[in-house]
Chains A and B, each alone.
Chain A
Amino acid sequence: MRVLVIDDSRAMRSILSKIMSEIGFDVVAAAHGREGLERLREDDGIGLVLVDWNLPEMNGYEFVQAVRADPAYDDVRLIMVSTETERERVLKALDAGVDEYVMKPFTRATIVEKLAFLGLADG
């Protein structure tokens, strides 16, 4: 399966891409929500998206709303990976349609645990 990593930080994209590659995913990346949507439209092999909340151009919440509004992406799993750690933000993201929420900082084990919960990795 291919995973799309969306984060405006090149360092964070590097960290997440390495973890996901080691787990066995093919990785593509984008720097903001609008670029992420373009990647998703171009590549029907993407089955999972890791998206940050605070992004330029189109933020992660708006990206999630756009993806969940399009039935073509019903099977795409969404995980928000964010520094936004308040309960209200997590609930808002879940209401918008994310499947899991990972708070920064995270460990590799946390990512694996969330993927395992979605049936996308061995726990």
Chain B
Amino acid sequence: MVHEEEILQIVQSIWMSILDLEIRLDSSADRRLREGGGRTLTGCVQLTGDFEGAALLDCTGKLAQRVAGVMFEEHPDALSIAEVQDALGELTNMIAGNIKPLLSGSSRLSLPSVVEGADYTLIVPGSKALLQVGFTCEQEPLLVTLAERCK
């Protein structure tokens, strides 16, 4: 079983080490993302093996551009869509990779995929959210979800 505190430590470690940005828990992140109405991105890394499921990272387009700007050391407006998606995919990959040792047994990571748009729902077929942790970074909501395939 993975706990909220462990997800918090993983995400804070990535945000501090790679981005040098502060991030804190925010229980309203899910609602803010759903009701925000703007462009959002979702990164997804699937886990297969003893644990079957996925790690998902949802955030606003504005935050995705901001973190990509830090990773590429470019102004956020100068980045291509592909660069923003790449950065979010790599952050999702790091989150999934650090969750994996907390799961029982042995699992493998897929390469990350990223979807982007407005008013969409990403479904990992046959799975349910095991744990969902909301965050705020620079006033923008961010959501980490660990989904497990139903057996």
* Chain A residues at the B interface, C-beta cutoff of 8 Å: 8-12, 14-15, 18, 54, 56, 82-86, 88, 104-107
B interface, CB within 8 angstroms of A: 13-14, 17-18, 68, 71-73, 82-83, 86-87, 89-90, 93-94, 96-98, 100-101, 106, 109, 111
- List the 5 closest pairs (A to B, CB-CB), nearest first: A83-B97, A105-B17, A9-B90, A11-B71, A11-B87
Q: Judging by beta carbons under 8 Å apart, are A11 and B111 in contact?
A: no
Identify which of B89, B97, B111 contacts A82 (C-beta below 8 A): B97
Please give me the residue from chain B that is nearest to A9 by CB atom: B90
User: Would you mind naming 6 contact pairs between A and B with Cβ atoms under 8 Å apart?
Assistant: A11-B83, A54-B109, A84-B97, A85-B97, A86-B100, A105-B94
A56 in contact with B93 given A11-B68, A105-B18, A106-B17 (CB within 8 Å)? no
Contact among B68, B73, B98 with A18 in the assembled complex (CB-CB below 8 Å): B73
- Contact A11 to B17, CB < 8 A, known contacts A82-B97, A83-B109, A85-B97: no
A15 partner, pick from B18, B101, B106, B109, beta carbons under 8 A: B18
Shortest beta-carbon distance from A36 to chain B in Å: 16
